[in-house]
A and B are shown apart, each in its own frame.
Chain A
Amino acid sequence: MHKRSTVMTGRREEDAVARFTTESRRRALSARRLRRGGLALALVAPAAVAYAIFVLRPIAMTVQYSFYKWDGITPSTWVGLANYVEIVHNPELSGSIVNAFELIVFFSFFPVALGLFTANAIRGFATSRLAVVSRTVLFLPQIIPLVAAGIMWSWQLSTDGLVNQLLRLVGLGGVARAWLGDFTTALPAVGVIGAWVLFGLCMLLLLAGMTKIDPSLYEAARVDGAGPVREFFSITLPSLRQEIVVCLTVTVIAALASFDIVYIATQGGPGNRTLVPGLEIYYLAFFQREVGTASALAVALMVLVLAVVLPLQRINREGAS
């Protein structure tokens, strides 16, 4: 440490000498900066190239395709905005976007609300043995492929599945049904699968956020006579702004861009009741050979995700400053 500090003062003296020859120093500095900059750009290059070839170029191509009518084989024809007009007018396409927004209720709202409630309830014993075990257990849905979650839950929600078995056990056999095959319940049932997958992540994120809150805040509130409800709304909730925004961002993207679960559980059916944009893009592009329309929907999906995520990030930044 001592040696380094003498080196540092030594350097400072050199700098003082160099100040007399500002011109040469500036030249040397800018040369070093340039060399450093060149090296840095060389180090960024491989990542940038991979990103440009497999992300940026495809994004540009999707936008380009979206202005054409193309079956993927024969020459394409320019149709301008016709594909976008079709998204608005074709109920199958616009319906898929509406479905995705309905899924947000299940993928985002329920996991975050239930996560807040649970994290608040177990905050007091967050380091106990039970809570530590629960970390592992509640995380299981996050690490398995969504496909597996889809398969498991199609089985739970089928006519003879666990859900109906439990309903019959408590005397509610009347409402038992093939949940994923019923027009009114299919979309909520898909939503439940998503909520099951995302709940653990949200709960643990929120709990981690809660343990960072200064306990003296709660003591002060107790002294002022605040009850648990008041405490939750005036201390816990405002302090968790960042974590809530993160949960919402992750889950909203999961809802809007859902594919795996729907592909496995319902294939978009019954009718188009659970059709989501991701699945519709896949069907249109690779089965119905409507590459242009599929691309327009893909552009719409990318824009929608940004339109929802960017305002959320803004809330986060405003909270930070």
Chain B
Amino acid sequence: MIVSRREEWLGRILLVLLMLVTVMPFVSLFATALHQSGTYPSGLSWPATPHWSNFLEAFKAADMGHLLWSSVLIEIGVVPVSMLISTLAGFALGHLRPPGGRAVLIGFLLGLTLPFEGIIIPLYYQMRDFGLLNTRWAIILPLIGLYMPFAVYWMRAHFITMPDDISEAARIDGASTWQLFWRIHVPLSMPALSSLAILLFLWTWNQFLLAVVLVSDPLQRTMAGALGAFQGQWGTDIPLLCAGSLLILTPTLIIFLVFQRRFVSALLQGSLKG
């Protein structure tokens, strides 16, 4: 018993240490953001007079209002459509199980581990031919396609676990497939749907490669893409860069802290299935 008590304390100390390592970069970023803009403060030092105005300056420099709006527009373009079409496909493959469904599923699974870099070159020329380069559509449309393997797989995995009795009962009561889907299956799928929504939201918000390659105007990009441009522009002004980075992180952090339980379980399940 004494041994296990000691083990437990060692575990606690280890855990606290790892939490410190995780949080330290954030703290250092925050402390640095408060130094006078244009100076080179050392890693972790609290300034004599905190320059809170840096945040305002970075907000203006990065045109944060615009950026937020741009990211929101991209989210609105990507997430609802992806959810809808992947849920329909997942329902068809997981519940209706048509002949040839297995082959279709395997086709989707092929794309599950695809690195985005693998197809970025043709995407660029495709978007150029569509005349969509430098617009938000150049991020929105490919992302919908790129999310399909995971989203369809995720929703199928959910619908396949739904007990057949429920559907059978509904059918006997005269429900059409459409009613069965909207009245029975979708309401019962809320946990799977909300996890999927969280994952798609996060992946879109943090999408960098597509933004960098397909959209050169930072104001048309995702948050992550804009952050890359901000670093390129203000990389020499460390306090301002830190303030801007923190501002760009804030929306995700707030949403994470509010929905943390769902986030953690969504990401854990997401990687287990993915």
Chain A interfacial positions (CB closer than 8 Å to B) = 4, 7, 11, 33, 36-41, 43-44, 46-48, 50-59, 61-62, 65, 72, 118, 121-122, 124-125, 130-131, 133-149, 151-153, 155-156, 160-166, 196, 199-201, 203-205, 208, 228, 242-243, 246-247, 249-250, 253, 256-257, 259-260, 263-264, 277-278, 281-282, 285-286, 291, 294-295, 298-299, 301-302, 305-306, 309
A162, B96: Cβ atoms under 8 Å? no
Chain A CB within 10 A, most for which of B18, B41, B242, B274? B18
A44, B264: Cβ atoms under 8 Å? no
Residue of A48, A264, A291 near B89 (CB, 8 A) is A48
Given A50-B144, A200-B22, A302-B114, A134–B208 Cβ distance below 8 Å? Answer: no
Given A40-B96, A44-B88, A156–B28 Cβ distance below 8 Å? Answer: yes
Given A55-B114, A151-B231, A46–B89 Cβ distance below 8 Å? Answer: yes
A47, B86: Cβ atoms under 8 Å? yes
B267, A55: Cβ atoms under 8 Å? no
Judge if B99 is at the interface, Cβ distance under 8 Å: yes
B18, A118: Cβ atoms under 8 Å? yes
Chain B interfacial positions (CB closer than 8 Å to A) = 4, 7-8, 10-12, 14-16, 18-19, 21-26, 28-29, 32, 40-44, 85-86, 88-89, 91-93, 96-101, 104, 107-108, 111, 113-126, 141-142, 144-146, 148-149, 151-152, 169, 172, 177, 202, 205-206, 208-209, 212-213, 223-225, 227-228, 231, 238, 241-242, 245, 248-249, 252-253, 256-257, 260, 263-264, 267-268, 271-272, 274
B93, A40: Cβ atoms under 8 Å? yes
Given A4-B169, A43-B91, A65-B121, A148–B224 Cβ distance below 8 Å? Answer: yes
Chain A's closest residue to B43 (CB) is: A162
For B28, the chain A residues whose CB sits under 8 A away are 152, 155-156, 161-162
Q: List 10 A-B contacts (CB under 8 A).
A: A46-B89, A121-B15, A134-B19, A143-B253, A155-B25, A163-B43, A253-B113, A282-B120, A295-B121, A298-B119
A-B CB proximity, top 4 nearest: A54-B145, A162-B43, A257-B115, A61-B122
Chain B's closest residue to A117 (CB) is: B14
For A57, the chain B residues whose CB sits under 8 A away are 122, 126
